[in-house]
Structure 1
Amino acid sequence: MTRSLLPGLLFAAALHCGLPAHAFAGTPVVPLLMGDTLDEQGKPKPMTALKRKLLDALEQELGVTFAPHMYPWARAERYAIDGAGLIFGLPKTADRLHALHYSDIAAYNNLWLVTRSDATFNFNTLDDLRGKTIGTVRGYQYGDEFERARSHKLFRTDEDISSRGTRLTRLMLKRVDAVLMFQPSTQTARDIETELRDFMAPRMPGLGAAANAGFSVLPKPLATDSGLFFAIARNKDDGIIDRINAALARIRKREEDARRQRPPN
């Protein structure tokens, strides 16, 4: 697929992706590339409520309608660099910063290591992962420091589809020592353990003896306040990144004002 055809094809696809009627009644449609999240059968899962809330707020501020297009991360990145549209959620690396113009931080995540409860280990630095097998999402890069350690074979990565259930099942089956998982920065390790226990409860009976352990989230995140950004090919930025930054600032100000006005508990 050539660079000249791809943006037009993405726009045409937007006509079939269930966008509201106002999207085509004078409201600009902006193709938005994102990494897919899949279930165990490889079928797309709905966008999370937090992500949908952010996009809804930005649509209102910018006067646009986002047309999300979900792909494996490596393909989404390639399309973004080719100028097919905005991309959301792609971490910064030195190479990407040359090709893409990034927004300010739109949201924050922490990157956690999840282990079996009977196979935890001490984690303070990447060196503590030496010799271990870490479950990652295929095609996703977790920042320069992690990627350098990966390329130097400090640890092994087991790349799989972006299905949380599939990767956690591999953890229970002892195929990996830990799974990398992004979660909103407002959540604690205990919050995440509760969420994972509830999420995996229907799947555990099918694992037999492998389900005898639970999940443990190691106390220290691998990365804290990891930013989620919008980005676009530098030669395709018509000012949209500046407009997104201004919109994000207005949204944050309203949220801060609302918090100040809430009565104390």
Structure 2
Amino acid sequence: MKTMFFTDRLKTLILCAGLILLCQVCHAENIVIYGGDSFDPQTYLDNGKPAGVIPALFARISKDTGDTYTFKLLPWKRAIAESAQGKGGIVSFTLNAERAKNYDFSEPTYQNKVRLMVLKENSFSFNTLADLNGLVVGFPLGSSFGDAFDAAVANKKIIAETDTNQVSRLKKLLLGRIDVAILGSSSFQKVVVTDPLLLANKDRFKALPNPLLEDWLYLAFAKQMQMKPALERFNKSLIALKKSKEYDAIVSQYSH
């Protein structure tokens, strides 16, 4: 009798596990994710294929959620436009008050130190946002660096010079067309070797010691997509992953 009891119990556990797995499969989706094509280390194209911390994290999370995440990496402003039309989610997205009106956000996925690059001969001390007042600052078209920075740009305290790629931004800095270039934490070393002029002048650049901000980046979906169930699955897996050594191991692969 005892053997039969345990056999029946084992069958029940197997059945429950099968039902849970079936439930996950039933809810699984193929989800398009937009991102920037030159946001090293978060998202970038490597020989035409999506790469970076965030695609790697999503590949791991996919094993838990059952969802498939298909990345489409584009120039940043176009990536935002596609997501705003409800064609897919968007990553490397900074949370601000305006975006919160139109998008549903995940738990924070990755923290990026946003660096301020200057020429050594024009270096200055940066401690607060006010230190950028009156300066021409280059950054990606369509980007947000938090409500305070966005307000300073809107109020013309910071003079914005936007672009679509980091090479042109650093060249503008080198030629004196901007005072400061905003870059991701590990972008400079990879970008500078792609252009002969930048490489020849590599030693003239300097990253200011204090970052502009330590920017938490998110996955977000336009509210009309009604993706909260997918976000709940994603968040559950992400929270568990962050508590493990596996999260740090994935991030460290792309750190420089």
TM-score higher than 0.5: yes
Aligned to 1:177: 179
CA distance in 1, matches of 2:62, 2:221: 17
Aligned to 1:233: 222
Assess, with a 3 A threshold, how the Cα gap between structure 1 residues 166 and 255 changes in structure 2: closer, same or farther. Answer: same
Give 1:102 deviation, angstroms. 0.4
Contact 2:170 2:198 in 1 (8 A): no
Normalised TM-score (structure 2): 0.74
CA distance in 2, matches of 1:123, 1:133: 14
Assess, with a 3 A threshold, how the Cα gap between structure 1 residues 257 and 178 changes in structure 2: closer, same or farther. Answer: closer
Contact 2:115 2:182 in 1 (8 A): yes
Letter matched to residue 171 of structure 1: L
Q: Residues 237-265 of structure 1, C-alpha deviation per residue, up to 9 Å, x if partnerless? A: 24111111101012123327999xxxxxx
Identity %: 25
Q: Residues 57-100 of structure 1, C-alpha deviation per residue, up to 9 Å, x if partnerless? A: 12222222211123333333333233222111111121211111
Assess, with a 3 A threshold, how the Cα gap between structure 1 residues 238 and 147 changes in structure 2: closer, same or farther. Answer: closer
Name the structure where helix makes up a greater proportion of residues: 2
Aligned to 1:36: 37
CA distance in 1, matches of 2:98, 2:79: 15
Give 1:173 deviation, angstroms. 1.7
CA distance in 1, matches of 2:152, 2:124: 18
Contact 1:72 1:139 in 2 (8 A): no
CA distance in 1, matches of 2:53, 2:227: 26
Secondary structure, in 3 states, of the residue corresponding to 1:154?
coil
CA distance in 2, matches of 1:143, 1:64: 30
Assess, with a 3 A threshold, how the Cα gap between structure 1 residues 114 and 88 changes in structure 2: closer, same or farther. Answer: same
Secondary structure, in 3 states, of the residue corresponding to 2:184?
strand
Aligned to 1:130: 133
Aligned to 2:239: 249
Letter matched to residue 200 of structure 1: V
Contact 1:118 1:213 in 2 (8 A): no
Secondary structure, in 3 states, of the residue corresponding to 1:75?
helix
CA distance in 1, matches of 2:30, 2:202: 49
2:65 to 62, 72, 75: 62
Assess, with a 3 A threshold, how the Cα gap between structure 1 residues 171 and 150 changes in structure 2: closer, same or farther. Answer: same
Contact 1:34 1:89 in 2 (8 A): yes
CA distance in 2, matches of 1:141, 1:257: 25
Aligned to 1:196: 188
Secondary structure, in 3 states, of the residue corresponding to 1:66?
strand
Normalised TM-score (structure 1): 0.72
1:220 to 189, 206, 210: 210
Contact 1:197 1:215 in 2 (8 A): no
Give 1:201 deviation, angstroms. 4.3
Task: Show the 5 A alignment for 1:1-265.
Answer: 28-37=29-38, 46-161=49-164, 163-183=165-185, 196-197=188-189, 199-201=191-193, 203-204=195-196, 206=197, 211=201, 213-224=203-214, 226-235=215-224, 236-255=226-245
| Bigger-Rg structure (1/2) | 2
CA distance in 2, matches of 1:246, 1:77: 25
Assess, with a 3 A threshold, how the Cα gap between structure 1 residues 44 and 197 changes in structure 2: closer, same or farther. Answer: closer
Contact 1:197 1:214 in 2 (8 A): no
Letter matched to residue 59 of structure 1: S
Assess, with a 3 A threshold, how the Cα gap between structure 1 residues 257 and 167 changes in structure 2: closer, same or farther. Answer: closer
Give 1:51 deviation, angstroms. 2.6
Give 1:55 deviation, angstroms. 1.9
Q: Residues 99-149 of structure 1, C-alpha deviation per residue, up to 9 Å, x if partnerless? A: 111011111111110111221111111211122111111121222111100
Name the structure where strand makes up a greater proportion of residues: 2
Q: Residues 190-216 of structure 1, C-alpha deviation per residue, up to 9 Å, x if partnerless? A: xx5xx7356424634x469x8385221
Assess, with a 3 A threshold, how the Cα gap between structure 1 residues 96 and 49 changes in structure 2: closer, same or farther. Answer: closer
